Structure 1
Amino acid sequence: MELRNVFKSDMKQSLHKSNNMRLFFSCLFFLTIFNIFSQETTTLDGALKVKIDSLYREDQFYFGFMYNTLTNKPEGLSQSKLSTGFSLGFLRDMPVNKNRTVAIASGIGFSYNNYNQNLAIYKSDQSPTYSIINPETTFNKNKFSQFLVEVPIEFRWRTSTYENHKFWRIYGGLKLSYLIYDRSIFEDDQGKILVTGNKDFNKLLYGTYISLGYNTINVYAYYGLNSLFKTAKIEGDPIAMKSLNIGLIFYIL
């Protein structure tokens, strides 16, 4: 009987030691796996940060809404109604410094500009003629509008980082625009005069622009460097009007 008790006691101690050893090796195995996993996660996180930083660009879609005015106007020409326009497109960002706060960007877009004014455009013998509408003449509408493809080329400065896309910016540069559609319309109580495809308009327009602001919303201004018209004249005097567009532009990543 005593022998059996001694044997049972020895068995219990052996089982207890075996369980302790199993628990010890299980904990050791778990800690080893956790350490390996942690090292892999740290390595992956580091690699991810390097990858994001190395590819960081401010490639952006843009949308602008402008108020359009005219400069170098011929005598008697005035804008009595609000003239508006809009533009949209995409810009490819090319950073030139290590911190990626300075860049050059270019892209492609489209713009529509509308000009309400008192320059009447008629078509006589298939050639447009131009005259300033008499102030005493009553009319419902007189405007010309243009639809253009535009290629902006800009220099960029900003305070952005790859972790923060809310930043201050100053962008400016040169914009080339090609006229693909134009329409002039004069409307009074007697009817409507419509002129499209006016060859007197300059097909290629260019000008300087600047946009500045914070985050998504920015103030924008564009000044045309060449005339909207190429060969148009009023009583022998060339029409050398240029565009000045002021408004807001929105950048979306």
Structure 2
Amino acid sequence: MRNFSLLLVLFIYSSSLFSQYEAEEEGLYSRSRPGVMWFYSGLKPFEEGKLRKYDRLIFDLVYNDWYGDKDYFDSPPSSIGFNAALMFDVILTKANTMSFGWGIAYSHFSNRSQVKFSRDLVNNTTLISDYLPGFEPKSTKFGANYIEIPLELRFRTKGYKHFKFMIGGKIGYQLNAFSKETFRIDGKRYSTKEYNFADSNPLRYGATVRIGIRNWAIYGAYYFSPLFTDSGSADLTPISMGISVSLF
């Protein structure tokens, strides 16, 4: 809820700025500011004649799912994660309709399916199973955190009210992974976490796409790297989809 509230505040602020500067469009070099710090390099405003750069600080609020041993869209709606990316926008055309984006990102994967993870430290495998009826926990979560390098080829129409389409991919390194169970016993909450999965995949890589208008977009990521590497382990590969906001 806190992530959703932050995006709502940013949306309201961005919309107010858009209405405040609803001046006549000047094409490529518009002075209108449709979003937070949209025309700023980080230290000072851009010079008038410079091409505007977009989508350099991006936040994604995403629904996390997986495929393999589990069906698509079988995860509960509360499986919400987020990404944050700081990127360079390298302009490739004079009309500013095509560019290349690259940078560094942080990603948190969160899935709340009622799945029990079991670590087999002898065979170095990770297994999943359903809970016995009547012994289900109050809530469960599988989480993983990554540092990633995103790459995007960006297409957009002219002007600050542009339509944009971005396609690319990213490769990341896993910082940690864990499973969490929360039980309610005699009115009290008890939580346990398990780390150090023996065959946890340290790498994550996949394809990404963004489609949107101005500083808002629909986001999707389809990964090709499973969560666990051993052939005897559970076959789970992540996918994500959600919304993006670009602050400048």
| TM beyond 0.5 | yes
User: Does residue 82 in structure 1 map to residue 78 in structure 2?
Assistant: yes
Give the TM-score, by structure 2 length.
Answer: 0.70
Judging changes above 3 Å, is the alpha-carbon distance between structure 1 residues 192 and 128 closer, same or farther for their aligned structure 2 residues?
Answer: farther
SS of 1:250's equivalent?
A: strand
Q: Which amino acid aligns with 1:155?
A: L
- Work out the CA distance in 2 between the residues paired with 1:67 and 1:170: 20
- Work out the CA distance in 2 between the residues paired with 1:223 and 1:231: 21
Judging changes above 3 Å, is the alpha-carbon distance between structure 1 residues 224 and 121 closer, same or farther for their aligned structure 2 residues?
Answer: same
Judging changes above 3 Å, is the alpha-carbon distance between structure 1 residues 252 and 81 closer, same or farther for their aligned structure 2 residues?
Answer: closer
- Work out the CA distance in 1 between the residues paired with 2:156 and 2:77: 36
Deviation for aligned residue 1:147: 1.0
Name 1:143's counterpart in structure 2. Answer: 141
Q: Is the deviation greater in 105-114 or in 180-189?
A: 180-189
More helix by share: 1
Name 1:180's counterpart in structure 2. Answer: 175
- Work out the CA distance in 2 between the residues paired with 1:57 and 1:125: 50
Name 1:252's counterpart in structure 2. Answer: 247
For residues 36-82 of structure 1, the C-alpha deviation after alignment (integer angstroms, 9 at most, x for no partner) is: xxxxxxxxxxxxxxx6444543351101100111111258xx53452
Name 2:131's counterpart in structure 1. Answer: 134
Q: Which amino acid aligns with 2:97?
A: T
CA contact (8 A) 1:69 1:245 kept: yes
SS of 1:152's equivalent?
A: strand
- Work out the CA distance in 2 between the residues paired with 1:232 and 1:144: 20
User: Does residue 97 in structure 1 map to residue 96 in structure 2?
Assistant: no
Name 1:9's counterpart in structure 2. Answer: none
Deviation for aligned residue 1:121: 2.0
- Work out the CA distance in 2 between the residues paired with 1:218 and 1:83: 20
Report 1:17-96 matches (<5 A): 52-58=48-54, 60-74=56-70, 79-80=75-76, 82-96=78-92
Q: Which structure 1 segments of 5+ residues have no match?
A: 1-50
- Work out the CA distance in 2 between the residues paired with 1:80 and 1:64: 19
Aligned residue among 105, 108, 116 for 1:109: 105
Name 1:25's counterpart in structure 2. Answer: none
SS of 1:208's equivalent?
A: strand
CA contact (8 A) 2:55 2:246 kept: no
CA contact (8 A) 1:119 1:130 kept: no
Deviation for aligned residue 1:193: 3.6
For residues 187-213 of structure 1, the C-alpha deviation after alignment (integer angstroms, 9 at most, x for no partner) is: 335754421132322111001010011
Deviation for aligned residue 1:217: 1.4
Judging changes above 3 Å, is the alpha-carbon distance between structure 1 residues 62 and 242 closer, same or farther for their aligned structure 2 residues?
Answer: same
**Equivalent residue pairs, number:** 196
Q: Could you say what the CA RMSD is over the residues aligned between the two structures, in angstroms?
A: 2.7
CA contact (8 A) 1:171 1:212 kept: yes
CA contact (8 A) 2:60 2:244 kept: yes
Q: Which amino acid aligns with 2:224?
A: L
Percentage of identical aligned residues:
20
Name 1:240's counterpart in structure 2. Answer: 235
Name 2:30's counterpart in structure 1. Answer: none
Q: Which amino acid aligns with 1:178?
A: Y
CA contact (8 A) 1:228 1:243 kept: yes
Give the TM-score, by structure 1 length.
Answer: 0.69
